[in-house]
Amino acid sequence: MKALIIGSGIAAVEAALKIRTLQPEAEITLYTREKVLPYRRPALTRMISEKLSDIQFYLHDKQFYDEKNIHILTDCAVVSIDREKKHVMLDDGSLAQYDKLLIATGGKGFMPPIQGIDLPQVVALREWDDLSEISSMLNENIRQVVVIGGGLLGLEIADNLTKKNSDVTVIEACPCMLPKQLDKDGADILVAAMNRNPRVKTLYGVFVSHIEGHNKVEGVLTQKGEHIPCDMVIISAGMSSNFELAHSAGLDVNRAIEADAGMRTSDPDIFAAGDCAAINGKRFGMWNPAREQGAVAGANMCGKDMAFKPKIYGARLVAFGTKLFSVGDIGLGEGPYKQVCRTDEVNLVYRKIFFKDDKACGGILIGDIAAAQRMQNAVEKGFDIKQCEEAEIIC
Ligand SMILES: Cc1cc2nc3c(=O)[nH]c(=O)nc-3n(C[C@H](O)[C@H](O)[C@H](O)COP(=O)(O)OP(=O)(O)OC[C@H]3O[C@@H](n4cnc5c(N)ncnc54)[C@H](O)[C@@H]3O)c2cc1C
């Protein structure tokens, strides 16, 4: 079998490894428009302020792929798919034939349609090149940055910018902090942790009117009329799936490539996995589901019949000298909920677990997240209060 994979993110690599396990003779080729071997995308935020070793950054070294006989072509974008002739065209005009094709093209940072978004110092952090661009601007002595979007990623970016001695203003349209991950009391604890860092200022419930400047970013004007001077703007306003290739090839697409639980698209020889794909309209936009979907796609490209079974995925943040973990339903659905909470306002430690019908359904940890795995397990298994006590999640 000739297996061709577009992209080199975690979904692509997992698929390649699965195919290699199931079909030792398969020809496996990955095409990536990035200039580097597959890496841990979440590490990009940390790398704004820190140098990571190759082992920390890359998923595997070149020797690993050579030994597995997996060909990775970097700096090589796929520009079109011909489904009838079963080949793809690369950016140098050459063609590559496939028996089974996986589209694992991931996503890009959503760029809201505001005036000034095209200025050169406006970036979204998604790929290695974006990190290089941000790093070179920081080296040019840029010291005032606005981050548009105060979700987990925006906060992590802001924290790392302050470690590079930048003053950062985070602007978030939503009136409260991390509403999908935190309740009000948890948000207060996180705000208190952030307030210990004088270089960062957060504006919640604030909409951006436009980015100011002609050839160069000079500031951001909010809809309330506040002018925030800055020389770089980082957009962290969500993810858009890279579905354009699939769309031009006539596959079913709706904000993402439509796939079934086996990661099959509307063409039986083409699969889609990770951030570019949606199953029943649902996109995950997270590392672990992308990895799991990649493995399912790889197996099914080899003729298996595996299904992606979503789990409850916990969210983590490491920033502002604290750590946060949030999992499951944190009281946002239809109640009633019971809650067990422990707060240490002096040391900014917070632990809350939510119960619905007497079963653990969600939880939040701030400051000390040593119980994260146990909390995840309690939520997945629906522990009652006694079981949570025995598992030392409640103490
Ligand atoms: C900065 C950052 C931090 C994150 N932190 C976390 C976190 O802490 N936890 C978490 O769960 N998730 C996190 N995520 C999300 C997570 O990284 C993604 O969900 C995951 O990487 C998606 O993997 P993927 O394989 O679907 O796509 P991607 O990792 O996006 O890989 C897709 C690849 O395809 C390439 N490509 C696209 N089009 C083409 C083409 N036409 N030809 C060739 N190559 C192409 C792209 O260049 C890219 O290299 C973070 C994301 C970012 C950007």
Residue 221 is which amino acid?
Answer: L
- The pLDDT score that the predictor gives to residue 124 is 98
Q: How far is the centre of ligand 1, averaged over its atoms, from the C-alpha of 280 (Å)?
A: 21
- Cβ(317) to ligand 1 under 6 A? no
Q: Give the DSSP H/E element, type plus range, for residue 351.
A: strand 349-356
Query: CB of 293 closer than 6 A to ligand 1?
Result: no
Q: Is residue 200 part of a domain?
A: yes
Q: How far is the CA of 239 from the centre of ligand 1 (A)?
A: 10
- In single-letter form, the type of residue at position 10 comes to I
Cβ neighbours of residue 345 closer than 8 Å, sequence gap 6 or more: 189, 192
| Any domain includes 312 | no
Residue 394's pLDDT is 80
Shortest-distance atom of ligand 1 to CA 277: 26
Burial of residue 281 (CB within 10 Å: 0-12, 13-18, 19+) is: exposed
Residue 204: strand pairing partners? 172
* CA nearest ligand 1 atom 30, residue: 106
What gap in Å lies between CA 315 and CA 324, rounded to an integer?
Answer: 8
Give yes or no for a contact between 21 and 120, defined as CB atoms under 8 angstroms apart: no
Write down which residue in 186, 205, 235 finishes a domain.
Answer: 235
3-state secondary structure of 102: strand
Name residue 342's beta-bridge partners.
351
pTM summary value: 0.96
Tell me, yes or no, whether 310 lies in a domain. no
Q: Is residue 306 part of a domain?
A: no
Residue-range definition of the domain harbouring residue 144: 122-235
Distance 106 CA to ligand 1 centre (A): 5
Mutation choice for ligand 1 from 34, 105, 291, 318, CB with most ligand atoms inside 8 A: 105
**Residue 44 Cβ contacting ligand 1 at under 6 Å:** yes
- CATH label of the domain that carries residue 209: 3.50.50.60
Structural domain total, the chain: 3
Residue for token pair 């099914």? 300
Residue with tokens 């009633």: 336
Phi and psi torsions of 296, nearest 5°: -65, -45
Q: 3-class DSSP state for residue 122?
A: strand
Residues 7 and 37 placed together within one structural domain of the fold? yes
Question: How many Å apart are CA 326 and CA 329, to the nearest integer?
Answer: 9
Task: Please tell me whether residues 153 and 197 are part of one structural domain.
Answer: yes
Ligand 1 and 89: CB distance under 6 A:
no
Q: Is residue 48 part of a domain?
A: yes
C-alpha R_g of the chain: 22
Looking at ligand 1, which residue's alpha carbon is closest to its atom 35? 7
List of residues 6+ apart from 195 with CB closer than 8 A: none
Are 344 and 377 within one domain? yes
Residues 326 and 293 in one domain: no
Query: Using CA atoms in the order 150, 151, 154, 160, what is the torsion angle rounded to 10 degrees?
Result: 110
Query: How far lies 375's CA from each of 184, 221, 314, 340, 354, in Å?
Result: 20, 42, 10, 13, 11
pLDDT in tens, the chain (395 residues): 999 999 999 999 999 999 999 999 999 999 999 999 999 999 999 999 999 999 999 999 999 999 999 999 999 999 999 999 999 999 999 999 999 999 999 999 999 999 999 999 999 999 999 999 999 999 988 889 999 999 999 999 999 999 999 999 999 999 988 989 999 999 999 999 999 999 999 999 999 999 999 999 999 999 999 999 999 999 999 999 999 999 999 999 999 999 999 999 999 999 999 999 999 999 999 999 999 999 999 999 999 999 999 999 999 999 999 999 999 999 998 889 999 999 999 999 999 999 999 999 999 999 999 999 999 999 999 999 999 999 988 87
Q: How many CB atoms lie within 10 A of CB 285?
A: 16
Question: How far, in Å, is the centroid of ligand 1 from the Cα of 232?
Answer: 23
Residues 221 and 257 in one domain: no
Note whether 292 and 368 are same-domain residues: no
Distance CA 97, CA 89 (A): 9
Which residue lies with its CA nearest to atom 42 of ligand 1? 77
In a domain, 316, yes or no: no
Q: Same structural domain for residues 104 and 20? A: yes
Cα distance between residue 250 and residue 135, in whole Å: 39
CATH number of the domain that residue 326 is part of: 3.30.390.30
Residues 253 and 223 in one domain: no
127 lines ligand 1 (CB under 6 A): yes
Are 126 and 98 in the same domain?
A: no
Mark whether 126 and 230 lie in a shared domain: yes
Residue 343 lies in a domain: yes
Q: Which atom of ligand 1 is nearest to the CA of 79?
A: 41
Q: What is the pLDDT of residue 365?
A: 97
Residue with tokens 């504006």: 203
Angle between helices 287-301 and 10-22 (to 10 degrees): 30
Residue 210's pLDDT is: 97
Q: Does residue 290 fall inside a structural domain?
A: yes
Å from CA of 67 to ligand 1 middle: 25
Q: Which of 179, 205, 235 is the last residue of a domain?
A: 235
Quick one: which of 194, 189, 186 has its CA closest to 170?
Answer: 194
Q: Is the CB of 151 under 6 A from ligand 1?
A: no
> Which atom of ligand 1 is the closest one to the Cα of 316?
8
183 and 36 share a domain? no
Is the C-beta atom of 220 inside 6 A of ligand 1? no
246 plus 293 within the same structural domain:
yes
H runs (alpha helix) in 107-183: 128-139, 152-163
Q: Ligand 1 in contact with 104 (CB < 6 A)?
A: yes
Give the residue from 218, 235, 252 where a domain finishes: 235
Query: Is residue 294 a contact partner of residue 15, using CB atoms and an 8 Å limit?
Result: yes
For residue 122, give the nearest of 237, 226, 40, 283 by alpha carbon: 237
Ligand 1 centroid to Cα of residue 116, in Å, is 26
Supply the pLDDT for residue 293. Answer: 98
